[in-house]
């Protein structure tokens, strides 16, 4: 089996007081971090070194702090970023970590990422201030019983993190009622977050970020991006951004992201700092997969060796001469009659769908172009991110 490396970025709650101290001792890191702090308009170095746990729990601080750390640490890990895409099989981020993942995959720039995360944090903090809300992790117990208990109390399973960990979100009164009547054999752990993220309580923040996103220029990702919404591989930059915006008020299906990693044949998962949360989940959910939690800069040499061990040449061609349409999921590919009959596909043409046991996912050629080569046949089994069709951009040479 060929090795497959997946890079993941953690979400809010991963930050701890002083975690940035050893990183900022490197002048290059400090300089780059200072630039992203300037873009965000926040003294992130202060918050990552001197501020206490309660201060960095603030959504408006935590989110930019996490994204900036991930982006600058990625440049430390991969000093020549273009070379990284020959090693990385896929990227994924948990909640706000999706912004770091999108920038790492070159969908958006680091500067765009910092503006978006600054505004995301502000808007979510404002939405959270309307009603007293929160989140509680539920560890262990029976999945169906837990979901039934959440439904009974009007709570949302805001994070489904895989076997044995679901995060409930809702009003403090709803969470208190759950605590008084917990599901059998489950342990409840209130989380250090400021609101019911990934629920309808965050809808006002979605509107604010959606308005800003309309002015953000994007590129198609340079590697597979696994989406929180449904675990699908997304290879259209506009859709990556749209999903990040919508995810503010929708549950994080990290369990489905893990399924996709397994479908890809992942052999190694490296978590960007402040690391530990996602590698801990992966150890429980993906037996036999090696993990690396990058926490401090003295681990960088070992982290690079880990990436070299699990990295391989990507099959995602990224030359601007071609456009690739790729599969979002594992399943059976069914080509559409319309696409099969055309030599030139208009932008947005549905080329077919991938059918799995769970659902059927339509696939469109977002950019359109001249059909150069079908890379799969109707009825073929395909994997997440597998190229299906090669197009020549209309008007290209």
**Domain 5-127+200-310 of CATH type 3.40.366.10:** yes
**Domain residue ranges in the chain:** 5-127+200-310, 128-190, 323-392
Q: What is the mean pLDDT of the chain?
A: 94
| Residues 41-59: tens digit of each pLDDT | 999 999 999 999 999 999 9
* 198 in active site: yes
| Residues 206-232: tens digit of each pLDDT | 999 999 999 999 999 999 999 999 999
Task: Give CA–CA dist 331/329, Å, rounded.
Answer: 6
Task: Give me the catalytic one of 37, 94, 95, 310.
Answer: 95
Peptide bond into 278 cis (omega under 30): no
| Residues 85-119: tens digit of each pLDDT | 889 999 999 999 999 999 999 999 999 999 999 99
What's the pLDDT at 216?
A: 96
Tell me the pLDDT of the chain (397 aa) as tens digits: 789 999 999 999 899 999 999 999 999 999 999 999 999 999 999 999 999 999 999 999 999 999 999 999 999 999 887 778 889 999 999 999 999 999 999 999 999 999 999 999 999 999 999 999 999 999 999 999 999 999 999 999 999 999 889 999 999 999 999 999 999 999 999 987 889 999 999 999 999 999 999 999 999 999 999 999 999 999 999 999 999 999 999 999 999 999 999 999 999 999 999 999 999 999 999 999 999 999 999 999 999 999 999 997 555 544 456 788 999 999 999 999 999 999 999 999 999 999 998 899 999 998 889 999 999 999 999 999 999 999 988 754 3
Q: Are 128 and 120 in contact (CB under 8 A)?
A: no
CATH superfamily of 128-190: Malonyl-CoA ACP transacylase, ACP-binding (3.30.70.250)
* 356 in active site: no
What's the pLDDT at 83?
A: 76
Task: Give me the catalytic one of 198, 201, 235, 310.
Answer: 198
The CATH number of the domain covering residues in 323-392: 2.40.50.100
- Other Cβ atoms less than 10 A from the Cβ of 112: the count is 21
What's the pLDDT at 163?
A: 84
This prediction's pTM: 0.91
Q: SS3 letters for the chain?
A: CCCCEEEEECCCCCCCCCCCHHHHCCHHHHHHHHHHHHHHCCCHHHHHHCCCHHHHHCHHHHHHHHHHHHHHHHHHHCCCHHHHCCCEEEEEECCCHHHHHHHHCCCCCHHHHHHHHHHHHHHHHHHHCCCCEEEEEEEECCHHHHHHHHHHCCCEEEEECCCCEEEEEEEHHHHHHHHHCCCCCEEEEECCCCCCCCCHHHHHHHHHHHHHHCCCCCCCCCCEEECCCCCCEECCHHHHHHHHHHHHHCCECHHHHHHHHHHHCCCEEEECCCCCHHHHHHHHHCCCCEEEECCCHHHHHHHHHHHHHHCCCCCCCCCCCCEEEECCCCEEEEECHHHHHCCEECCCEEEEEEECCCCEEEEEECCCEEEEEECCCCCCEECCCCEEEEEECCCCC
What's the pLDDT at 315?
A: 53
């Amino acid at each position: 089996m060929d090795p497959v490396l997946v890079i993941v970025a953690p979400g809010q709650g991963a930050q701890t007081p002083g975690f940035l101290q050893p990183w900022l001792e490197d002048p290059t890191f400090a300089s780059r971090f200072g630039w992203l702090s300037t873009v965000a308009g926040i003294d992130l170095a202060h918050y990552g070194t001197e501020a206490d746990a309660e201060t960095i729990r603030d959504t408006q601080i935590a989110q930019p702090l996490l994204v900036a750390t991930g982006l600058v640490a990625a440049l430390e890990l991969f000093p020549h970023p273009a070379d990284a895409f020959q090693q990385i099989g896929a990227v994924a981020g948990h909640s706000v970590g999706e912004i770091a993942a999108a920038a790492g995959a070159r969908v958006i720039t680091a500067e765009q990422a910092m503006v978006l995360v600054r505004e995301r944090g502000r808007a979510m903090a404002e939405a959270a201030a309307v009603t007293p809300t929160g989140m509680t992790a539920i560890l262990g117990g029976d999945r169906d019983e837990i979901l039934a208990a959440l439904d009974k109390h009007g709570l949302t399973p805001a994070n489904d993190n895989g076997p044995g960990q679901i995060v409930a979100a809702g009003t403090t009164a709803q969470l208190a009622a759950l605590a008084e009547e917990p599901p059998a054999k489950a342990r409840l752990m209130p989380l250090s977050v400021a609101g019911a993220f990934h629920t309808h309580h965050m809808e006002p923040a979605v509107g604010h970020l959606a308005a800003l996103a309309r002015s953000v220029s994007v590129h198609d990702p340079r590697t597979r991006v696994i989406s929180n919404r449904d675990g699908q591989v997304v290879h259209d930059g506009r859709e990556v951004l749209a999903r990040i915006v919508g995810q503010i008020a929708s549950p994080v299906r990290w369990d489905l992201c893990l399924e996709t990693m397994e479908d890809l044949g992942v052999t190694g998962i490296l978590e960007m700092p402040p690391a530990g949360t996602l590698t801990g989940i992966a150890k429980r959910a993906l037996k036999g997969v090696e993990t690396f939690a990058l926490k401090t800069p003295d681990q960088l040499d070992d982290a690079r060796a880990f990436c070299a061990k699990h990295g391989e040449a990507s099959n995602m061609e990224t030359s601007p001469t071609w456009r690739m349409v790729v599969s979002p999921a594992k399943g059976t590919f069914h080509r559409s009659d319309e696409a099969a009959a055309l030599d030139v596909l208009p932008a947005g043409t549905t080329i077919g769908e991938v059918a799995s046991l769970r659902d059927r996912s339509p696939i469109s050629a977002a950019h359109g172009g001249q059909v150069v080569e079908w890379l799969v046949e109707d009825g073929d089994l395909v994997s997440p991110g597998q190229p299906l069709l090669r197009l020549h951009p209309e008007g290209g040479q």
